[in-house]
Amino acid sequence: MIALLTGNLEAIESDRCIIDVNGVGYLVFASTRTLDHLNAATGPARVLIETQVREDAINLYGFADAAERDWFRLLTTVQGVGARLALNILSTLSPRDLVAAINAGDRGSLTRASGVGVKLAIRLLTELRDKAGGMPTAPGFVSIVPVAPPGPAADAVSALINLGYRRPEAQAAIDHVEARLGKGESLDRLIREGLRELSH
């Protein structure tokens, strides 16, 4: 099983590259983040490899660092997330972004990835919420302490983001609503009042 490749970067395409190791060209699928890293690097290309063996193919998936590789492994444990879709997610969200999105219950950020609809985003949030806090966010691996499961306020912020507002302004609007009305308001009212705040 191949776990690491070091060689010359021969070609880069939209979702893959070819790495020449002692005259043998390996086709490696990768996120745009890893491909950008390889393209910018000087010297030999070095990628961590996740090998997937199927009946009809042996596919190699490459990662610039262990954090991205570990997230790839975790994402592919979720029903409906194959290797290519996991790479789409990692092309859109860094490991740090993934931790933040999952902890915040931010469906909008997840649905930015090609192939991720609302239902799959909800499944990702549900299945990975308890695991995200212990996952690596960068090559140096800084563990993030899990936060409490999101409630109506977090869902309201996510809804406002889905409507096109930026996270800072959406969060500020919902915080202001909760400060004015108190905790425990329904999701519908939080969204309505949040929109009213943002319209001022």
Q: What is the pLDDT of residue 175?
A: 84
Average pLDDT, the chain: 86
Q: What is the pLDDT of residue 124?
A: 93
Q: What's the CA gap between 41 and 80, in Å, rounded?
A: 33
Mean pLDDT calculated for residue range 139-150: 41
Q: What's the CA gap between 81 and 86, in Å, rounded?
A: 6
Mean pLDDT calculated for residue range 175-190: 84
Q: What is the pLDDT of residue 156?
A: 83
Mean pLDDT calculated for residue range 152-167: 79
Domains and CATH numbers, the chain: 4-63 (2.40.50.140), 66-132 (1.10.150.20), 152-199 (1.10.8)
Mean pLDDT calculated for residue range 166-179: 83
pLDDT exceeds 80 at position 171: yes
Q: What's the CA gap between 189 and 109, in Å, rounded?
A: 23
Mean pLDDT calculated for residue range 154-159: 80
Q: What is the pLDDT of residue 194?
A: 87
Cβ contacts of 108 within 8 Å, gap of 6 or more: 158, 161, 162
* Better-scored residue on pLDDT, 57 or 29: 29
Describe the crossing of helices 152-162 and 95-104 by its angle, rounded to 10 degrees: 120
Describe the crossing of helices 66-75 and 118-132 by its angle, rounded to 10 degrees: 120
Q: How confident is the model at residue 89 (pLDDT cuts 50, 70, 90)?
A: very high
Question: Which two three-digit tokens encode residue 97?
Answer: 């972004």
Q: What's the CA gap between 128 and 75, in Å, rounded?
A: 8
Q: What is the pLDDT of residue 54?
A: 82
